[in-house]
Structure 1
């Protein structure tokens, strides 16, 4: 499903259930040692998807442990991202990108109070004008998660919800303008991201990519 909103130079794999044969490398086992079953299954299937995606780039199976901040540690030269939610896991990787961010969420309204915590006033006003059958509040949360996943490997610091202004187009695209100074990427200051969104099969999914060069 996630491949529908990713460019051709990004390889991806997803799963709607946990395959019984999925296994972890020892470096990955250490990350989920003592984790509850739900967390372990999510982690294992997501890593399984990541290795499938890497194989589509012609790369051999490799461990994908997590760094001290919990972010996946990809093989050298690879930019990638992982997402999981109830009933869905996915990974996307590229050798032609400096950053990739993906996120999947159940397509339903956010719990009370969450939108106020994650959205700027301008974003809330814009969502009210969009209307329609899409749960734009959930899509906004997903887009900000995708933006963060692309931002963090470049900046190596947190990006708060209120530090990026997201604007949607009903056609299936969105922009995220950074409201704080971005890192230097190839000698230029990063000012934002562009992305795509999709609502299908009970899920809201978003993706952002930043191509090299």
Structure 2
């Protein structure tokens, strides 16, 4: 994940295991009191990552509780995103005066196991583009990357709108150079007085993980 975001004003903390010293605040403990071990470990470690990242930008430790639709409630003046999958957890944070919104997602670096998922995630245009990419680079899990990119789109979208965004409401165009664009097919959020219709992001497949990220930086207007 860090390699995706090296050139933007964000702080990344990531891990491939569940540290023994990862702990929760009492308010967070209550959220996962009845959760199975897998869910508890993911919840705990990703917040451990988030607090480590926050400390690097001078924000003291605080509970990070799920808010509307499960979106994390970040401390005032901070934007961020968290993700986890088997063998990987990460958190990305930034100061709100530098970044408007961001979204990150990590998935297993392999094709989707259920072919039917792609029909739910992608439209005909996207499926045709994936087929063309797959013909050129068959070792890349393009369908998984598309799924991940749409997750990153939603995570970027929701803090700006507070509204649901379906898979069919954004069209993602993956490029072989590690970038992608997502065109919103519904009314876009207004950022700094301008409607945003396109999100730009980056992707990587490395160490068994397929990851995507989108960052909307603050634009200084004169």
Q: TM-score normalized by structure 1?
A: 0.97
Tell me the SS of whatever aligns to 2:201. strand
Q: C-alpha distance in 2, partners of 1:47/1:76? A: 16
Secondary structure in 2 matching 1:30: helix
CA RMSD of aligned residues (A): 0.9
Q: Which residue of 1 aligns with 2:115?
A: 112
- Look up the match of 2:131: 128
Q: How does 1:3-14 map to 2 (within 5 A)?
A: 3-6=2-5, 7-14=7-14
SS at match of 2:104: strand
For 1:148 and 1:58, the matched residues in 2 are separated by 27
Which stretches in structure 2 are left out of the alignment for 5+ residues? none
Distance in 1 (CA, whole Å) between partners of 2:89 and 2:41 is 10
Between the aligned partners of 2:69 and 2:119, the Cα distance in structure 1 is 26
Shift of 1:169: 1.2
Q: How does 1:37-52 map to 2 (within 5 A)?
A: 37-52=37-52
Mapped partners of 2:198, 2:62: distance in 1: 31
**Structure 2 equivalent of residue 71 of structure 1:** 71
Secondary structure of residue in 2 paired with 1:165:
strand
Structure 1 residue aligned with 2:26: 26
Structure 1 runs of 4+ off > 3 angstroms?
none
Aligned pairs (5 A) from 1:155-174: 155-174=161-180
In 2: Cα distance, 1:137 partner to 1:183 partner: 27
Q: In the alignment, is residue 100 of structure 1 matched against residue 102 of structure 2?
A: yes
Superposed CA deviations along residues 32-53 of structure 1, whole A, max 9, x for unmatched, are 1211111000000000000011
Q: Which is worse superposed, 57-66 or 72-81? A: 57-66
Q: Normalization by structure 2: what TM-score?
A: 0.93
Q: Displacement of 1:59 after TM fit?
A: 1.4
Q: How many residues align?
A: 212
Runs (5+) with no aligned partner, structure 1: none
1:65-118 deviations in whole A, cap 9, x for unaligned? 111311100011111000000000000001111111000000111122000110
SS at match of 1:69: helix
SS in 2 for 1:66: coil
Q: Indicate the residue corresponding to 1:206 in structure 2.
A: 212
Aligned partners of 1:105 and 1:34: how far apart in 2? 25
Note the C-alpha offset of 1:8: 3.7
Supply the distance in 1 between the matched residues of 2:201 and 2:68 (Cα, whole angstroms). 27
